[in-house]
Amino acid sequence: MNGFVLYIFLMMVSLSALADKKAEYHLYLDADFTGSRVSSIAIEQGIRTALDEVDYQIGGHRVSLICRDHRGNTRRSRANLEEAIADPKTLAVFCGLHSPPVLTNLAREHEAGMLLLDPWAAAHSITRFSMDTNWVFRLSLDDAKVGQYLVDYAIEKRGFKQPVLLLEDTGWGRSNEKNMMQALRAYGISPVSVEWFNWNLEELGSRIRLRRMLQAGADCLFLVANTREGVVWARELAAHAEQDRIPIISHWGITGGNFVEEVGLDSLNKLELFFVQPQLSVIHAPSVYARGVFEHAEKLFGEAIAEPREWQAPAGFLHGYDITRLLLAAGEQVRLRGEDAGKDREVVRVALESLEQPVEGLLKAYVRPFGSMQQMGVDGHEALRSSDYCMGSFDEMGRIVVEAE
């Protein structure tokens, strides 16, 4: 009898272990942990904080986060995506700062029915690949709105009339050029010039081109760059005599890496540099809820993350946390079986488009943030609006501060 009881017990343990093994999901974060390491780590920490709050569970099943470094390379990003698609436990993929890898992979993601959550990449077409079944959800800035926002700020609040557009030659840069030009035309303004540059920009070439822009009479510079190239342009402009410098109105890509450290405080404090950000009031005047989240993050990641006002890429953490909260809410709203991740992805996708309860986040409380593209139009998969944006700058210590309205 004892032997029979032991046999039954072992069988139950084995079946339970097998069930537990099936009831597990994987989330992938495919980002640039090399060139844009600061933003990628911030996103990862935001995701992990939200997951840890619920003991790494979604819909009653275990979930783990797998990070992959594409190093800004679209081919490597594609390989990472294929790994996620081939993994039978994958529930969703998060992307990072760079838009080009995301744009390159959109067709494959939709073909595979892979849920993509975007906490940073801003190219406008990322969430608008399909107006039918759309697998991409963004909680970040949207270039369809950022271009207009930056132009409004430069012209209405700063009074500039002769801008130069300085853009990286990628899908992200071209998307911004289109939207900025449209916004400028509405004001009856033509840019002094539109300048393009490639990644890994060299200082000598930038120096000559910048001198030409200044000589042409530009009164401000619209910059669409990531950290590495943004550092080059900032250093070169700071090296000019004070009377020759012009303000920089920048996209937020420069905040994705060690921009302050690489430019140096001496050079940085010589510049008038403003850049778009999500509303950062939660960093400077946190609510009770936000303080709890930040304290939890400090317990997980230590003193390096203890003071949110010192964060180099606060948007990465805020967006990573909030979009994970929306994913978890969708998972709780529906019944996840944990047996077929592909079917569960579709269930979660539909749930994200029809969240029934408000979801508390760091940036705001989200009430039906997403909807089907047929019902809500081109912004159906955008959780933020331009009213959620603000302009930021660096203080004398290189900390991001929000410009007063």
Written as six digits, the tokens of 170 are: 């990628």
pLDDT by residue, tens only, the chain of 405 residues: 455 544 444 444 444 444 444 469 999 999 999 999 999 999 999 999 999 999 999 999 999 999 999 999 999 999 999 999 999 999 999 999 999 999 999 999 999 999 999 999 999 999 999 888 999 999 999 999 999 999 999 999 999 999 999 999 998 899 899 999 999 999 999 999 999 999 888 776 788 889 999 999 999 999 999 999 999 999 999 999 999 999 999 999 999 989 999 999 999 999 999 999 999 989 989 999 999 999 999 999 998 888 998 999 999 999 999 999 999 999 999 989 888 999 999 999 999 999 999 999 999 999 999 999 998 999 999 999 999 999 999 999 999 999 865
CA atoms of 387 and 166, how far apart (whole Å): 25
What was the pLDDT predicted at 337? 86
What was the pLDDT predicted at 114? 98
CATH homologous superfamily of 20-142+286-385 equals Response regulator (3.40.50.2300)
What was the pLDDT predicted at 404? 66
For residue 168, the 8-state DSSP code is: E
What was the pLDDT predicted at 201? 83
**Hey, is 143 helix, strand or coil?**
helix
CA atoms of 89 and 114, how far apart (whole Å): 12
Residue 319: count of CB within 10 angstroms of its CB = 31
Question: What is the third-level CATH fold of 144-278+390-402?
Answer: Rossmann fold (3.40.50)
**Hey, is 223 helix, strand or coil?**
strand
Per-domain residue ranges of the chain = 20-142+286-385, 144-278+390-402
- Per DSSP bridges, beta strands 273-278 and 248-250 are parallel
Strand pairing partners for 195? Answer: 166
What was the pLDDT predicted at 171? 86
**Hey, is 69 helix, strand or coil?**
strand
Establish whether domains 20-142+286-385 and 144-278+390-402 are of one fold.
yes
Closest CA to 123 of 143, 105, 107: 143
> Is residue 389 within 8 Å of 279, Cβ to Cβ?
yes
CB-based contacts of 32: which residues, under 8 Å, 6+ apart?
A: 39, 40, 69, 70, 71, 72, 96, 97, 98
For residue 5, the 8-state DSSP code is: H
Whole-number Cα distances in Å, 289 to 283, 286, 294, 296: 12, 8, 9, 11
Q: Whole-prediction pTM value?
A: 0.90
Q: Please report the DSSP string for 336-402 in residue order.
A: --SS-HHHHHHHHHHHHTT--S-EE-SS-EESS----HHHHGGGTTB---GGGEEEEEE-TTS-EEE
CA atoms of 369 and 359, how far apart (whole Å): 9
The position carrying tokens 């705001």 is 364
CA torsion angle 388 389 390 396 (round to 10) = 110
What was the pLDDT predicted at 81? 99
